[in-house]
Amino acid sequence: MDKEIFQVPAEINKLTTMINGSIRLQIDTQENITADHLRVLLDSMNKVGWFNFAIREIEAADMIDLPKISVSKTDSKTSSQRLRNTIYVLHIQKGGSKDNFEVFYNSYMEKMIDFVKSKLEKNL
């Protein structure tokens, strides 16, 4: 399964920029897909892979000499981005919503700043 490549005519219908700088794509196929193609897609859920797109059918020659891609989930985000995402998860787990996250985030950050300030030497 790991070596199978799924190819079907499709259209990119929506791009959404994510908080971590990545992009969410909404792709609609232009034809019904087979059960085998559906299996490949379902088996690929929540796995990191590579996305290629051309406004024509992709051929084997197109896949030669592609640049090597390094995938590292933790290295792709700055410490600040990771902290913000972690605070977001905390907010949601405490019953918050996406709509009121900014208020929660700013309040939480002020508390963290005050905590760090309280640890500073008074002579500074």
Where are the chain's structural domains? 10-63, 79-119
Identify the three-state secondary structure at position 23.
Answer: strand
The pLDDT confidence band at residue 54, using thresholds 50, 70 and 90, is confident
Average pLDDT over residues 38-67: 82
Amino acid 95 reads G
Please state the rounded mean pLDDT for residues 41-47: 84
Res. 1: pLDDT tops 70: no
Q: Enter the pTM of the model.
A: 0.45
Q: Select from 83, 108, 112 the least CA-distant residue to 96.
A: 108
The Cα 98–Cα 78 span in angstroms is 21
Can you give the pLDDT at residue 42? Answer: 87
